[in-house]
Chains A and B, each alone.
Chain A
Amino acid sequence: MSVRHLSVERRPYRPRRPIRFVLTAVLTAAALVAAGCGGGDDSEEPSGPVKIKVWAWYPAFQGVVDLFNRTHTDVQIEWENAGAGQDQYTKLQTALKAGKGAPDVAMLEFQELPTFQLTKHLVDMGKYGANDIKGNYVDWAWKQVTNGESVYAIPVDAGPMAMLYREDIFQKYNLTVPKTWAEYKEVAQKLKTASPGSFIADFGANDGGFMTGLMWQAGARPFEYTAAQSPNVGVRLNNDPAKKVMAYWEDMVDSGLADTVAYGTTDQYSGLGSGKYATYIAAGWGPGYLASVAKTTSGKWRAAPIPQWDAGENAQGDWGGSSFAVTDQTKYPEQATKVAMEIFGANKDAWKIGIDEAFLFPTATPILEWDYFLTKEYEFFGGQKVNEVFVPAYNGIGEFQWSPFNSYYFNQLSTNLNQAIEKKTSWTAALDTAQQNITTYASQQGFKVAS
């Protein structure tokens, strides 16, 4: 037998090695797998406290969870950060559709509630006593989460809007704090002349929540939809107030007064940190966000009410804000409802963490009226009692309805506006395009669209 036929290099080898290696590797791996996925499924009759799984991405949430677990013996929270924003919503949709893998309680921003309500997988917490705490919340917030007597979510935080500005820059260039959008533009022009590399603000056309908040303030109501009137939905994205807002910002950008860097990018953070942007139109959770991405500017920012369209008014919009909903995959709807109502609720200890560490803006009236919150001095804002600005803003927010296809809406808004910015075409025309696409989409999905 000729050894030449073996095209194996002349090296000592042990013939049995491959199989042994394979077997060992596979067995080790199998052991790892078994150890790794000790999945906690089938919870039979709980012999101890009921475990409620919660998905949320609030900053500093661990402290709030620990607090709840310390103060409750019959219910314990298992917290998982399943992603932020759309990431979590995607997972939740997938899990709800699959019939498994969803948590008992999920954090849902206001704008996503109709979408999830439509899946019919949210538990009506009204049956488990949620209506008892109705009095803790202002009208517009409670309406966001309810459908008559049915309660689909418990509000947690909100995003009333205000203008955060760099006091040092304003002083340096002798700028006055604008009270109307017209004044805002004048201040912007003054700033531009004095410091050509600066902008009064960055307009993030990739953030649907931001843009909707601005339109909300102007009185635009792009959608008319409640679960009760489904499948009827009113889509009026390109009405006058909305166009007014877009025309204004288009002008600001074209005049070189506002930048168009996408929100959430390192470039935006740089701009905020370096003083390139003299103001930041923010939501109630904005201060915390600013503090983390622009640490070096601590002490230099102040808060002022958002500029008005008509002098003397208090028209307001909301950007973001979230709630806790209970999914129908929970085995303990009563306890899950309790968790949703009480993790934050109107609990001062929990809110102390929420206010101090997570920079959340509460929706519970008892907390809003709480001295600690109202008179808190924020170091990042040079000791200013920032909530004295945000609370009146919160009180000025009116009713607003979201569509049951919010991710499509946000996507249309940002895609079309971004394209208008890139190609330097009309922003109001972009609104028209978005309106058209959304109407078509809604009809395709079986909705009866009124515009």
Chain B
Amino acid sequence: MTNLARRARVGRQAVAGWLFVAPFTVLLVFFLLLPMLYAAKLSLYRSTLVEGEVFAWLDNYRQALGDPEFRRGVVRVLVFGAVQTPVMIGIALVAALLIDAATSRFSRVFRLAAFVPYAVPVVIGTLMWGFLYSPNTGPLSSVIDVDFLSSGTVLYSLGNIVTWQWAGYNMIVLYAALQGVPREVYESARMDGAGAVQTALRIKTPMISAAIVLVTIFTIIGTLQFFTEPLILQPLNPGAITNSYTPNVYAYHQAFSYQQYNYSAAISFLLGVVVFVGSYIFLFVTRKRSALR
């Protein structure tokens, strides 16, 4: 091929390359960058019921950081994340190890059973559990005499819904990773006399640490953005699930119940930044284990 022809082809590739990434880039700009910038701009203004919009620099952020309701919400999602994540990952891991070790048909049934909740929209899963928690329409209170939606228990009840919804999905991811572990490893472990439990703990688990890290980080990201479940169940006990229950719920109510769009933008932006930065820190800290990049 002549130099000219080669250069023409390279030029053609470049044009094609731009064209191919164009739709995605346009979407990225319009639905990621611009909203972020717009939220940032809005968050620098103040809008009162009486006066309208005025430039307020960092007032909204100052207000948020000093807002006891916002802070409670932040603490709550942090606590929630700290508790929920190990529970979820633990259950998913145990389940994955179980089905990896078992080969009966039942394990396939079990795998399906665990995964099906993922097919249910979060809204519907929450509604279902809302009915299940109710002393009158649900079966649970006849077995355990506990008010699932009181302010002391509601966070656990919500956590349970999240676990029910996602454990199966995480289990499949971990199971898929387990499938990728070379068999020779098990062979040598068996020859060394390792029992099933030991194999599971000492060998299988570390070998899928990359997948575990992945699931962990997505779980954490999810818990920090907790929104749907508390919002749906709020009418059942508005005293326990307040309008500021989580940062996202707070941002939503600020915008739609109180028309405080600027404050809402500030909270959304703050939440976005925190999650974003936190994710990267986490990934960085676990980079050796996660084998990412």
Please determine whether chains A and B interact with each other in the same assembly. yes
A residues within 8 Å of B by Cβ? 86, 90, 93-94, 97, 118, 205-206, 230-231, 262, 264-267, 269-270, 404-405, 407-408, 411, 414-415, 417-419, 421-423, 444-447
| CB-based contact A422/B240 at 8 Å | yes
A404: B residues at CB distance < 8 A: 49
The verdict on A230 contacting B50 (CB below 8 Å), with A206-B238, A262-B236 known, is yes
Say how far B177's CB is from chain A's closest CB, in angstroms: 19
| CB-based contact B50/A414 at 8 Å | no
Bound-complex Cα distance A231 to B49 (A): 10
B259: A residues at CB distance < 8 A: 93, 97
A262: B residues at CB distance < 8 A: 235-239
Bound-complex Cα distance A447 to B236 (A): 33
| CB-based contact B237/A411 at 8 Å | no
| CB-based contact B51/A446 at 8 Å | yes
A-B pairs with lowest CB-CB distance, top 3: A418-B239, A446-B50, A270-B136
| CB-based contact A445/B49 at 8 Å | yes
Q: Is B242 an interface residue (CB 8 A)?
A: yes
Smallest CB gap from B151: residue in A:
A422
B137: A residues at CB distance < 8 A: 266, 270
A447: B residues at CB distance < 8 A: 49-50
B94-123 contacts to A (CB < 8 Å): none
Bound-complex Cα distance A421 to B151 (A): 10
Bound-complex Cα distance A167 to B37 (A): 64
| CB-based contact B134/A405 at 8 Å | no
Bound-complex Cα distance A94 to B257 (A): 10
How many B residues touch A, CB cutoff 8 Å? 24
A415: B residues at CB distance < 8 A: 238-239, 242-243
B237-260 contacts to A (CB < 8 Å): 237-240, 242-243, 256-259
| CB-based contact A266/B131 at 8 Å | yes
Bound-complex Cα distance A257 to B120 (A): 41
B51: A residues at CB distance < 8 A: 446
Bound-complex Cα distance A441 to B274 (A): 27
| CB-based contact B151/A411 at 8 Å | no
- Starting from the known contacts A90-B257, A93-B256, 15 additional A-B residue pairs (CB-CB under 8 Å) come to A90-B256, A94-B256, A205-B239, A262-B236, A265-B134, A266-B134, A266-B137, A270-B137, A404-B49, A405-B258, A414-B239, A418-B237, A418-B240, A422-B151, A447-B50
Say how far A23's CB is from chain B's closest CB, in angstroms: 15
| CB-based contact B50/A231 at 8 Å | yes
| CB-based contact A408/B258 at 8 Å | yes
Bound-complex Cα distance A246 to B199 (A): 63
Say how far B200's CB is from chain A's closest CB, in angstroms: 30
Q: Is B90 an interface residue (CB 8 A)?
A: no
Selected contact of B258 from candidates A231, A407, A423, CB within 8 Å: A407
Q: Is B160 an interface residue (CB 8 A)?
A: no
Q: Is B150 an interface residue (CB 8 A)?
A: yes
Q: Is B179 an interface residue (CB 8 A)?
A: no
Say how far B67's CB is from chain A's closest CB, in angstroms: 11
Q: Is B25 an interface residue (CB 8 A)?
A: no
Residue of B49, B51, B150, B151 contacting most chain A CB atoms (<10 Å): B49
Q: Is B139 an interface residue (CB 8 A)?
A: no
B113-146 contacts to A (CB < 8 Å): 131, 134-137
The verdict on A405 contacting B240 (CB below 8 Å), with A86-B257, A411-B257, A422-B150 known, is no
| CB-based contact A118/B243 at 8 Å | no
Say how far A9's CB is from chain B's closest CB, in angstroms: 16
Smallest CB gap from A448: residue in B:
B50
| CB-based contact A445/B50 at 8 Å | yes
Bound-complex Cα distance A231 to B135 (A): 46
Contact with A along B26-70 (1 / 0, CB 8 A): 000000000000000000000011110000000000000000000
Smallest CB gap from B257: residue in A:
A407
Residue of A94, A97, A415, A419 contacting most chain B CB atoms (<10 Å): A415
| CB-based contact B136/A445 at 8 Å | no
| CB-based contact A419/B151 at 8 Å | yes
Smallest CB gap from B236: residue in A:
A265
Selected contact of B238 from candidates A118, A231, A414, A444, CB within 8 Å: A414
Contact with A along B200-223 (1 / 0, CB 8 A): 000000000000000000000000
Say how far B240's CB is from chain A's closest CB, in angstroms: 7
B136: A residues at CB distance < 8 A: 266-267, 269-270
Bound-complex Cα distance A94 to B240 (A): 27
Bound-complex Cα distance A206 to B48 (A): 27
A86: B residues at CB distance < 8 A: 257
Bound-complex Cα distance A265 to B243 (A): 18
Smallest CB gap from A446: residue in B:
B50
| CB-based contact A446/B48 at 8 Å | yes
Smallest CB gap from A404: residue in B:
B49
Contact with A along B146-167 (1 / 0, CB 8 A): 0000111000000000000000
B243: A residues at CB distance < 8 A: 411, 415
Bound-complex Cα distance A417 to B236 (A): 15
| CB-based contact B238/A418 at 8 Å | yes
Say how far A96's CB is from chain B's closest CB, in angstroms: 10
B235: A residues at CB distance < 8 A: 206, 262, 264-265
B49: A residues at CB distance < 8 A: 118, 404-405, 445-447
Bound-complex Cα distance A217 to B114 (A): 55
The verdict on A417 contacting B135 (CB below 8 Å), with A93-B259, A230-B50 known, is no
A446: B residues at CB distance < 8 A: 48-51
Bound-complex Cα distance A417 to B137 (A): 26
